[in-house]
Amino acid sequence: MPQFVVFTADDAIQSYTIDSVNQFLAQRKNPNGCPVKMTYFTSLNYTNYTLVTDWYVAGNEIGDHTYV
């Protein structure tokens, strides 16, 4: 059994928050060489929807975190 590590973020998706998450993830790989993906529980207020699309298309999971 592998040791799973889950990485999540909550609240709005903005350029700052994507940069912030990438500090943790961008340079890392899973043991099988695949890039690291994460779940973003996205709230609507202050969110940049274009970046939500980009983050989803890049293979990440988008979750529901209500409005604010």
Partner 1 sequence: MTHVGSPPAAEINGNLIALNALAGIPLNAIKGFRAPYLNYTAQTLQLLANVDFTYDSSSASSIPVTDPGTDAYWPYTLDYGLANDCLTVEGVCKGQPKIPGLWEIPMYAFFDDLGIDGPHLMDPWLDTANGASTVNDTATLQYMQNTFTAHYNGNRQPIGLYTHPIHLCVGHFCS
Cβ-in-10-Å burial (0-12, 13-18, 19+) of 9 comes to buried
Q: Find the length of the chain.
A: 68
What is the C-alpha separation between 60 and 38, in angstroms, rounded?
5
Candidates 31, 32, 34, 64; binder of partner 1 (CB under 8 A) is: 64
59 makes contact with partner 1 (CB under 8 A): no
Q: Which lies closer to partner 1 via its Cβ, residue 14 or residue 34?
A: 14
Provide the binding-site residues for partner 1, judged by CB under 8 A.
1-12, 14, 16-21, 23-24, 39, 41-44, 49-50, 52-53, 56, 61-68
